[in-house]
Amino acid sequence: MARAVSTPPDAAHPARRPARFATRGHDAAAAHLATLLADAPPHALLIVGPRGAGAGTLARDAVATLMCGEPVDGGPCGACRACRLIASGSHTDLVVINPTGESNTIKIDQIRALAAGFALFSVEGGRRIALIEHADLMNEDAQNALLKTLEEPPSRTHVILAAAEDSRLMPTIRSRCAVIRLGLPDAKQASELLGERLGVDAPTAVRLLRMSSGRPGPLIDAEATGDAARAHAQIRRQILDFAATQPHARLGQLGALVADARAILVAGDDDGNAADGTESDDSSDDAPDVDAEPKKKSPAKRSAKPTPAERRAAATALLRLWRGVARDLALVSTGAVDQIAFPEDRAEIEAVAHRLPPATWGEALHAIDKTLSALRRNGNPELLLDAAALSWPTL
Amino acid sequence: MSGTALTQQRDLFARLVTLGEEVTDALDHTNVVSTLGEEELNRAIAAIGDRALPDAATSALAALAASVERVIAANDPHRAIDWIGMQPRLALTLLAATLNPASLPKDVVPPSSGATVAARIPAGISFSDAPRDGRAVVYSGIQADPILRPLAVAIANATPAERLIARAVMNDPEPTAAEAAALFAALPSHRTTTDPLVVGALAIGGKAQASNAQYRGAVVEATTAEMLRRRPVLANDADRLVRRERRFAIDGVSADPHPFDVTVEAGPVPELWDCKWGARGIDASLLAELEDARIRAAGSSARIAIGVVAFDTAAIVAARLTIVRAPREKTRFITLETLGRLAAG
């Protein structure tokens, strides 16, 4: 089977996002998807994008468009029976697969069930579709099982995969999919989306978006508020103050900082989404995409005593934020003030950064990176934070 | 001058690494720890540049170099591995002590919270003395050595920098009073050779190699017990509630493969502590045994706390844990810098 290759929008297919697409901030990709589905819907479509950036939403738009009985403007009509069934989550010809269990992976049984379902006739008489969210979390056996379905797809069936890292998928799966790649959503549209969904004012939406590195998904998932943005800013300032704090006093403050970091997890720093204001290159994170089956995590649902996973997530969030501060200090100390992630802290950052040589901040950034790396390799969160606090530069 | 002193430290460090690498079973550990140490030394050399060092720093670095030379001369790769983790941090500590004393860490003793009287241990959990086999008889003699308690008290009262220097003296094959004095003189506290910490460290370091390791282990246990006894909630009955070499049973059935070094036999959550001289002593079987005890207790609806006290720096213990594959999420880790947390509960 020939590999389906995606193409960017061109003059014949103007970049116009279908009006009923839920996806925001990816106009060109949305228009390209609409064109692709209208011309020759691929039997396998892979949408790749950073977690929380909208790949899951675009995949659902693709599902809705393929299922819709009377597409409008390249997108779903939103009114037909199929659209209503999808909206209510009860379309019998749509199978949604998500990672399950403690391992948070998609397992072979789920894919076998999908293949068995594809062998049956369509209940509604139209297409049968499988939406595999977080497809990069399929384990190897599941991927091998899926490959068989992709190699010999039953007629009028489609498999839509949404993934953050296609490198985790077998090349043989990738080669059988039409691929659409997303970057971060347009910042203006993403901020507007946050304003609408979270009910926050425009400046708060911008700050929240910055804390989640431009990914609105985790923020919407967690129903973030202005309090999260304020907690975020407070932690940044405390870290900035660390340089003027004696090492033993830093150790004493770590407990409170970790507790605060648990609060900002609600704002989307958990599950691997960067909190340092920069785009994360962390390839080992397993964050669920907010756009797909969002898992609500309100503060009230968090137990007083954190679980090991929560402790690790909080330490990761704190270290990511710490990394963001270290990066800003390193940038300012080398004169690249305009590139800092948190411009609202500029005065404080400059006050600290220029008191030590640029190399010191570069090494501090490197040390935090190494600490994060150790944490991913199953390092002990509390010990790593202790070591990071003790080795942080002192003015 | 400063460049020479620090370059000498780096050369000695490289020789320690070469010696340590002879232990093939510990290559992973040696690699992660030596990488960390090399970075620290290079960072120090770059930061100091050609700046002249204070006399106290020069003397202390010379004493440190002499100690490392003795470790290399003793041709003991296991001791060398311990020093690979210690030497760079010690060199940095000596530099910090003389150039920027304010940057030296102090131990943190967070305010204690909770009841003022220890609760009873949960029903079903019991502790008993370990059987007195041959090893236990020998070891109990070491534990009863009158040198240990004053040294444990001194370590408990010392700063992390002082503990680190004491640690080096205790693991020096043939420590000398003059060199120990030079090391301690770099610190703001200026401990003399009559100070209990220095006297105790020299005494432990002076033990023959065979008993030195056992004494070092006993020092960590004694210090752990000393710290735990300082908890306000245990204060009235500390000697009875903080015990050594005890076995742990659930519903009368032994729940451990060997005795735990230090136990806190009070409720609502009794504690089991294992004590290690160095991070290298933390291995998968140790962590699995602690976790196993915790799970067994949980199986009887009882909670126990488990932890490891490593008389090593947080950075080295953290590095060690990145290469140990074993459950540790419920295990507390106390390091040389954070012994005070034992006293806080």
Q: With a cut of 50, list the residues of chain B below it in pLDDT.
A: 1
Pairing of strands A44-48, A157-163: parallel
List every span in chain A annotated with CATH 3.40.50.300. 27-181
Q: Residue A253: what pLDDT?
A: 87
Partners of B46 on chain A (C-beta within 8 Å) are 359
Rounded-to-integer distance, Cα A49 and Cα A37, Å: 19
The reply to whether residue A386 touches residue B314, judged by beta carbons under 8 angstroms, is yes
- What pLDDT is recorded for position A230? 77
Cβ of B333 and A382 within 8 Å? yes
Confirm or reject CATH 3.40.47.10 for domain A27-181, answering yes or no: no
B85 three-class SS: helix
**Cis, peptide link before residue A9, omega less than 30° from 0:** no
Residue B111's pLDDT is what?
Answer: 53
Interface test with B, best of A248, A355, A370 (most B CBs within 10 A): A248
pLDDT at A94: 92
Q: Which of B28, B40, B100, B103 to mutate to test the interface with A (most CBs of A within 10 A)?
A: B103
pLDDT of residue A289: 37
Q: Between chains, do A248 and B108 touch, taking CB under 8 Å as contact? A: yes
On chain B, the residues whose CB falls within 8 A of the CB of A377 are: 322
| pLDDT given for residue B3 in this prediction | 62
Burial (Cβ within 10 Å: 0-12, 13-18, ≥19) of residue B220 = buried
Quote the minimal CA–CA distance from B97 to chain A in Å. Answer: 13
Question: Among candidates A330, A322, A328, which has minimal Cα distance to A363?
Answer: A330
Cα(A88)–Cα(A85) distance, rounded to whole angstroms? Answer: 5
User: Contact A252/B108, CB-based, under 8 Å?
Assistant: yes
Nearest partner of B57 among B185, B180, B176, judged by Cα: B185
pLDDT for position A300: 41
- Cross-chain Cβ contact A248/B107 below 8 Å: yes
What is the distance between the alpha carbons of residues A90 and A106, in angstroms, rounded to a whole number? 21
CA A157 from chain centre, in angstroms, equals 28
- Secondary element (H or E) of residue A44: strand A44-48
d(CA A206, CA A194): 9
How high is the mean pLDDT in each 10-residue block of chain A (395 residues)? Answer: 44 64 91 89 93 91 91 88 88 90 85 87 85 93 92 89 92 93 90 85 82 81 73 86 85 86 60 47 37 39 67 88 92 88 86 88 91 86 91 86
Burial class (CB in 10 A: 0-12, 13-18, 19+), B287: buried
What was the ipTM of the complex prediction?
A: 0.72
pLDDT of residue A1: 42
Q: Do A246 and B105 touch (CB under 8 A)?
A: yes
Rounded to a whole number of angstroms, the distance from the CA of A91 to the nearest CA of chain B is 42
pLDDT score of A280:
45
